[in-house]
Every structure is written in structure tokens, then in C-alpha cells.
Amino acid sequence: MTRLFDLLYHQLNNFPSPKALNKRNANGEWQAYSTQELVSMAEQAASGLHTLGLKRGDKVALVAYKNRPEWLIMDFAIQMAGMVSVPLYPTISVGEYEYILDEAEVKAAFCGGLDLIDKLTAAQKKVKSLKHIYVFDKETAGQYWESVFDTNNQQEIEKIKAEIQPADLATIIYTSGTTGNPKGVMLSHHNIMFVIEKTVPHLTAMPGDNVISFLPLCHIFERAVSMAFIYGGAQVHFVGTDNLSGPDGDLQAVKPITFSSVPRLLEKVYEAIYNKGLLLTGAKKKLFFWALEMTKDYSIDQKLSFGKRVKWKIADKLIFSKWREALGGQVKAIITGAAPCPVKVIQVFCAAGIPIREGYGLTETSPTISINTMEPDGVIMGTTGPIIDGIKVKIDAEGDYREGEGEILVHGPNVMMGYYKKPEETAKVFKEIDGEKWFCTGDIGTLITGATGRKFLKITDRKKELLKTSGGKYVAPAPIENKMKEDFLIEQMMVVGDKQKFVTALIVPAEEALKNWCEHKGMEWQDLNTMIQKKKVLKKYQKVIDSYNPQFSHIEQIKKFALVPQQWLPLHPDGGEAELTPTLKLKRRVIRKKFAQEIADLYTE
């Protein structure tokens, strides 16, 4: 098993399932695809691609707003046909589609509903190579994807499959860059298969277990996780974030064993739990916050006295068990990545019996470099876990870093083939050391030794995001932002201070939490823009900043801040420039430009 499409046949031969992939249909009813159906449909789609005139090595795009079996079926079909898949984010602009489709010379595209057919059709006018566009929904205007299916080229497909090598290009994934045009990351079958095989043991799902998938499949994180589930024989249910919670939500319907998430979604779940606690009264409210207070002292390997064990059992039975039940009652682990997860969030969930395990990687590393595991010595909160077996990590301390820190370099089978059509850009991110080629991640980190001697990777910041004050001191903004965002009143935050005398911050208030606070203080709510100008509100935010500042060095402390009412988004309905990437990372340049006046005011004497 060395090529990605081998995963389907592995499941068919070892864990054939009547419910391998699942989705809700237009009527809201669950529709299941068996392993045999997946194999048959992928083989027919592969044959049909050749009937269209596409050849081995041609590029085919995939895009959908919501994860669905059709996306993965076509992904496997493209691989079987010896072609290269180009996944696209649904939220990017027509102009970005034009750039990616043109550079990759995409010949065909398959898409989900809403405005995607319109966006692709608009882009097609400027992309000469794009000849075919198909839709996954019959009710959507356009050619239905199953019309491609045939069996005319089955022998040819079998011949191609036999010839495909692990080192062959499988996919080109365009990164959601915070500046400039996106770069196409070339990943081979072996790049991704290596990561899948190394991470499957850490996913806690057994053959036949139910899991859910809602992070975008166009991101390598969710794509690799979903393929790992297929490898392990789990039953994948594709869901949206709009119907997860509540008695009729997908968490209760599926009762998943595990799933992957991003920190922001976990933060929102935590905030929702906290806000529900605020609405309680009397003894129930006291009990809720008593249990929440206990989580502050939680550690993974905590050894408790008899008295404390009794307290934890009471808190678990009366409070934490209800949190687990809200997630379906069966969750053994939640895997998080793509951005740093606040330690407070990990600690609270783990204390409540909902293990969160944070990992780290990049598109360029397929993606996993390190991951906290379920082993007794496999987790340290605040780190991204031990390095996965088979790859090497080096901390390159050349430069102006704090002691023990440096740029994270990676060498191993998971490292990309390079950037598509960009040899100069590729050369910039590789460094030769003692005859070995090391990938420069651009992330700053350090290695921490665990109790048993195991090394854990801790990320401290992005190299290109480091601020340098006018006094020549470097400041890493991410740890400051992540720590202060633990407060419920802070929705989003960006630290500012490059070439300035001191560090300041732009803060987007958490509107719901601020409303609750104002109500508690007897302040009549008007609108966010009005409320953030109130002296009482500004004083409260200053108090929040003051409570966190002592955790940082003098130069890192926030001296001034500005509250801004506009939430930062990955997509604006009016087509305005987004402040976040599709993976919810800050576009710092865009934010600095949009709030140039507010920033200037912070540095006005």
C-alpha cells in the first residue's frame, strides 16, 4: 500500500463497510456509501476522465463549501487515472481562481453548490485550459458529475494504476498565503501516505467507529485525517458546522469517537459553555463555576488525594459529564491543528474528560511534523507533541532568537517535492546541512524534554511575524495574542509594534460576552460600536490587559490598545478584502492597512 488510492482497496479487503462515507441529503436524511460503491464509482469516474480526453498528468480541480463523499470519490478517481488533483478553497475570489487554474493548467473542475459554478464559469473565460466543469448536485445548473462515469477505459485504468509510483505527483495544494499570490505545493503519494501511516495509531478510531469531518477537505490537514480514517476502517460522516450542536444536531446523531478541529471552533464551544454557566442561578451557578475553577489546577498526570478525588468525581458527575454528552457522549479524542490552541482551552476540555491533542505541520510537510498522543508520556499541554517517527527536526539558532529557540527545520519523507513552476521560491525554503536537504518552516520553536526524556516541540511564533521595536528588541506577537484571547471578552487580537517604541494591540471584542458583562453591570446595550467607546468598557478591557501583562517581559507588554467593532473574516459578502486566510490566520498586512488610522492614533503622544 504505497499510493493514496490503495487506501480504498485496503478498506475493501480488510474492513468493508456499508457506511464507509456518509452525508445528509437535500431532505436532511443520511445517505451512506459502502466501500464497494466508493471503489466502483471512483473507477468509473477515472475511466470517464480519460473518455473526456484528459491524459495522465493532467490537472483536475475540486471545490465545495461543505465536505461530501463526492469530493473524496473524485479525488481517488483523479489519482487512479494518473492525474493530479488541485483542491480549491470555496471562499476565494474569482481572480484567485483564475490565477490558480491558469498556473496549474487545470483541464476539468468538479464543484459543489451555491455560487461555485458561477465563479468557475467566470474564471473559465480567462483560463484557456479549463474545458470541463461538472457539479455534484443535480439541482444545480451545469453538467452532473455522474454523467462522466463510464467503463470504457477500465483496462487502461488498471494499466495506469499498476504504473503509478509512490514518488509520483498526487496533488498540488495552493497555500492560503497571507501576502502575494498563493504557491502550489506539490505532494507525492508517498509524502501523504507516510504521514497517514504514522498518524493512524493516534486517531483512537477503530474499524466501524463513527467519526465526523467538517474542516475543509481542500486543506491537507482534514484531507489526510479523512484518508487515515478510511485506512483504519472508520465510518466517516461529513457534516457542517451549522448543525453540530443541540438535541437534533449531528454530534448527537453520529456520536463520534473522534474528529479534527481548529482552535477557534474549540474556543467558541468553550465560550458557549461559559456563557451558559453565566445564565444559571443560585446553587447551580455556584456548582458550575466551582467545577470550572478546579480545571485550573488540572494536569494530565495529576495524582490526587482521596479528598480531591471525591471532589473531581462530584464535578464530573454533575457538570463535566453533561459537556461530554453534548458532544455525543463517545468522544475519545479531538485532534487540533492549523493554529496554536490556547493552553487554557486544552486544559479545561482535558479536565472534563474530553482529551484534546494538538499537532503541528504545514501543507509543505503533508502536513504532520509532531503530535501529542494518547500515550501516558505522549502529551505536554502547550506543546505540539513529540516528532512523528521517521522524520528529523532541527532547531536552527542562527539569528537573533531567545536562548534555546530557533527556526524549525524538517528533513523526512513528508517534505514536499517543491512549489509548482516556482524553482526559485522552492530554493529559498531549503537549506543543505551536512549533505542533507532541510525544509525551513518559517516557524520559531524549541524542543522541551518530557519526564521520560521524550522530546516535545513547542512553537513560539512565525519568523516573518516577529516584530522589531525601534529599540532593536524582537517581540513574538502570537504567544501574546493567544494568551490574551483566553479572556472571554476578546474575540480577536493583533499585536502591533514593528519599528515603534512600544507594543500596542488592536482588539475585536467578543460581542456576546461583552453584552453579558454590560447587562451584569447594569449598562443598557446599544450597539458594539457605541459600547466600545464607553469609559466603563474601556476600563474593563484595560483591566484585562493589565491582568495578562505581568506574564510577559516589559518590552512585550501591551502599553496601549484600540477596540475595533468590525469582526475579521476570511470572506466578506460584499467582496471586501478579507482580514483572515481561509484557515483563519491573521492577514497582518491587510489589518495594518485597514486600521492604519487607529494604529497611528495609538502612537500619537
Per-residue pLDDT tens for 453-475?
Answer: 999 999 988 887 888 888 888 88
For 467-602, CATH number out of 3.30.300.30, 3.30.70.3450, 3.40.630.10, 3.40.50.720 equals 3.30.300.30
Cβ within 8 Å of residue 32, ≥6 positions away: 18, 19, 20, 21, 22
pLDDT value for 570: 87
Domain boundaries, the chain: 6-164+203-242, 263-463, 467-602
User: Could you name the CATH architecture of 263-463?
Assistant: Roll (2.30)
Residues of the chain by 3-state class (helix, strand, coil), percent to 5: 40, 20, 40
pLDDT value for 267: 87
DSSP string, 562-583: EE--SPP-S--TT-PPPSB-TT
pTM, two decimals, is 0.89
How many residues are present in the chain?
605
- How many Å apart are CA 226 and CA 259, to the nearest integer? 9
Helical spans, DSSP H, in 370-509: 423-428, 477-484
pLDDT per residue over 540-550, tens digit each? 999 999 999 99
pLDDT per residue over 362-384, tens digit each? 999 999 999 999 998 999 999 99
Q: Please state whether the peptide bond connecting residue 367 to the residue before it is cis, i.e. omega within 30 degrees of 0.
A: yes
pLDDT value for 571: 84
pLDDT value for 175: 87
- How many Å apart are CA 83 and CA 196, to the nearest integer? 21
pLDDT value for 304: 86
pLDDT band at 168 (very low <50, low <70, confident <90, very high): very high
pLDDT value for 201: 87
Same fold, 263-463 and 467-602: no
Beta bridge partners of 458: 446
Which secondary-structure segment (H or E) carries 398?
Answer: none
Q: Is the pLDDT of residue 179 over 90?
A: no
Cα separation values, 83 from 7, 37, 192, 213, 418, Å: 17, 21, 16, 25, 18
Kindly state the average pLDDT of the residues 249-261.
96
Average model confidence (pLDDT) across the chain: 94
Side chain identity, residue 351: A
Give the CATH H-level superfamily of domain 6-164+203-242: ANL, N-terminal domain (3.40.50.12780)
Closest CA to 467 of 480, 483, 482, 458: 480
Q: Is the pLDDT of residue 419 over 90?
A: yes
Cβ within 8 Å of residue 248, ≥6 positions away: none
> What does the DSSP 8-state code read for residue 421?
T
pLDDT value for 162: 97
Kindly state the average pLDDT of the residues 238-267.
92
pLDDT band at 605 (very low <50, low <70, confident <90, very high): low
